[in-house]
Chain A
Amino acid sequence: MTEAIVPVRVENSPKVEANRYRPGIKGLFERVKNFVGITEKVETATSEVPKEKVEQVSGMGFFERVGAAIDRGINKVKETSKKAWNFVKEKWNQAGEYFKEESAEVQERRQKLGIVDTVKSYVQDGVDAVRSKVDLVEAKWKDAEVSQLVGERVKLRDSYEKAKEMKAKGEEVLRGYIVSRNQLREALRPIRVAELAARKERRELRAESKQLRRKIETKENSKALLAKAKEKNKMGLSNQSAAAAI
């Protein structure tokens, strides 16, 4: 009977250690997969122990305890993610005003120099491109919020409650009823999608920043070359004046 749990070492399992710091929700899925597996082994190992003894030691029951922890975990991820996204939106809206004013100032300077941009505005176009990336993540996030409110959360809770009822009646809980890795995946998928979208847009923005830095450097070099030429012109003129004076 002890066979099934003796080989399980939660703290030292290399697989668990390897997954501990994997970032984002993906890491959470991997970890939970291991823990659900461990709980299953515990459940199997204790299946021959009288039910009263199990309840005495484990309170709610082994599976339910891990299920409840997963449930609480999901809530934490959802609440924190929601707060984090609201912060992004708030800051972006504040920044939006700043960029609007700055864009108008640069655009005016361009017009004064006789620059006619083919796009509606070279400046605004660039800032709008960044905004569209935030909007894209926002759309994914809204999907996530809707799903949280009406979809997976309800399904998860129903399944969990049903599993508890079955347990209370002493019935065998069918696999798939209990809070499982797949249910967790479903419940967190919309946030995962928003997280992936944010990662993708961030990657693109980093590439765009790199390109902009290169462009700025090229233009600065050109400006330095022109300034040098101007300096040479000046020196040439002063030499001519000196020669004329002699």
Chain B
Amino acid sequence: MKLSDAREIIENSELSEGALKRAREILLSVGTDDEVEVTDEVIDQLMAILEVDIDTDKLKLEACEDTIGLLSGFIGEVGAASKMAGDEVEETTKNVYNDASKLLSNGTNADK
């Protein structure tokens, strides 16, 4: 692999700032001739940098997903409790309505 190719891969890897800086230093140590072949040792170093950056992102992703799960649980519980509360009010309203209907129909019958 040519140095220019390795540089292109690294520049387009979305590495973190510190990791990108280190990868650039490693590539610079190879030289400035774009046509020069990059050794296995350099490739290994670049791969190790990518790997640790991937693990870093994975850890952040895990933290994000865990928190999303926890917040979803909270939102869900509030929602479920609200639904239960709404059901209770609805039930009571139905009873009130039925009682009122009963009262009015009794009243009407009595009037008759």
List residues of A whose CB falls within 8 A of some B CB.
Answer: 1-2, 5, 8, 10-11, 16, 20-21, 23-25, 27-28, 31-32, 35, 38-39, 42, 45-46, 49, 53-54, 57-58, 62, 65-66, 68-70, 72-74, 76-77, 79-81, 83-85, 87-88, 91-92, 95, 99, 102-103, 106, 109-110, 113-119, 122-123, 126-127, 130, 133-134, 137, 191, 195, 198-199, 201-202, 205-206, 208-209, 212-216, 218-220, 222-223, 225-227, 229-230, 232-234
Contacts and interface: CB of A to CB of B under 8 A. Distances in A.
B81 interface: yes
Q: Which of A54, A114, A206 has the most CB of B within 10 A?
A: A114
Contacts of A68: 92
Contact of B96 (A20, A58, A234): A58
B44 to A, nearest CB: 8
Contact of B52 (A42, A69, A110): A110
Query: Interface size class for chain B?
Result: 35 or more
A110 B18 contact: yes
A225 B68 contact: no
Contacts of B93: 10, 35, 38-39, 66, 69
Given A24-B75, A106-B56, A113-B49, A73 B99 contact: no
Interface of B: 1, 5-6, 9-10, 12-19, 21-22, 25, 37-40, 43-68, 70-86, 88-97, 99-104, 106-108
Given A127-B59, A202-B72, A219-B57, A115 B18 contact: yes
Contact of A88 (B21, B47, B71, B80): B71
B84 A222 contact: no
A198 B74 contact: yes
Contacts of A39: 93, 96
Given A49-B107, A69-B91, A24 B82 contact: yes
A76 B84 contact: yes
Given A70-B89, A222-B50, A233-B39, 19 more contacts: A1-B104, A42-B97, A69-B91, A69-B92, A79-B81, A84-B73, A103-B59, A106-B59, A109-B55, A115-B16, A117-B16, A117-B17, A117-B18, A122-B19, A199-B75, A208-B60, A209-B61, A222-B9, A229-B5
B64 A205 contact: yes
Nearest to B22: A115
A191 B49 contact: no
Nearest to A92: B70
B107 A53 contact: yes
Contacts of B51: 223
B92 A95 contact: no
B73 A226 contact: no
Given A10-B94, A216-B54, A226 B46 contact: yes
A232 B58 CA distance: 29
Contacts of A191: 78
18 contacts: A65-B95, A69-B89, A73-B89, A80-B80, A88-B70, A95-B63, A114-B22, A114-B25, A115-B18, A117-B16, A118-B18, A123-B60, A134-B67, A137-B71, A205-B68, A219-B54, A226-B50, A229-B38
Contacts of A62: 96, 99-100
